[in-house]
Amino acid sequence: MLKGYVNRWKKRDKPEEHVMDYWFCSRAENAAVWDTREGAENDCVLFNHHRIVIPSSEGGTYICRDFKVEERAPGEFVVFCMAPFVPKENSSGESSNREQFARSPACYVGTNVGTETKIKLLTL
């Protein structure tokens, strides 16, 4: 399982205004920041509710759940979940190991349509 930080989210424009896109990153310094722990914890409830589904590194799909808050610096809170994210590929096309994923910036974008969110890996 790898730690994926919530980077940002955005509702699409019409006619797809019912679709929400989510981005996750592998580094806390690239994550979205909340000013209060309470605000971040409230959004954890929403993220848990949205059924964010990712392709799993173990095969099949995985529903991201159990979002948690981490204090990145005094007065800066970030949200993450542990999930079997597919590791970023290196320039030769080979899968990176967990250590490379943890050190390298990577971003996942997900799309919420109705009650299910699909997510794919984007490299930065």
Read off the pLDDT of residues 46-57 as tens digits, 9 standing for 90 and up: 999 887 777 888
Across residues 51-65, what is the average pLDDT?
85
Q: What is the DSSP code string of the chain?
A: -EEEEEEEEEEPPTT-TTEEEEEEES-GGGS--BSSHHHHHHHHHHHHHT-EEEE-TTSSEEEE---EEEEEETTEEEEEEEE-PPPPB-TTSPBPPHHHHHHS-EEEEEEEETTEEEEEEEE-
Percentage of the chain lying above the pLDDT 90 cut? 39
pLDDT tens-place string over residues 15-36 = 988 777 778 889 999 999 999 9
The rounded mean pLDDT for the chain is 76
Provide the domain count of the chain.
1
Domain, as residue range, for 32: 2-123
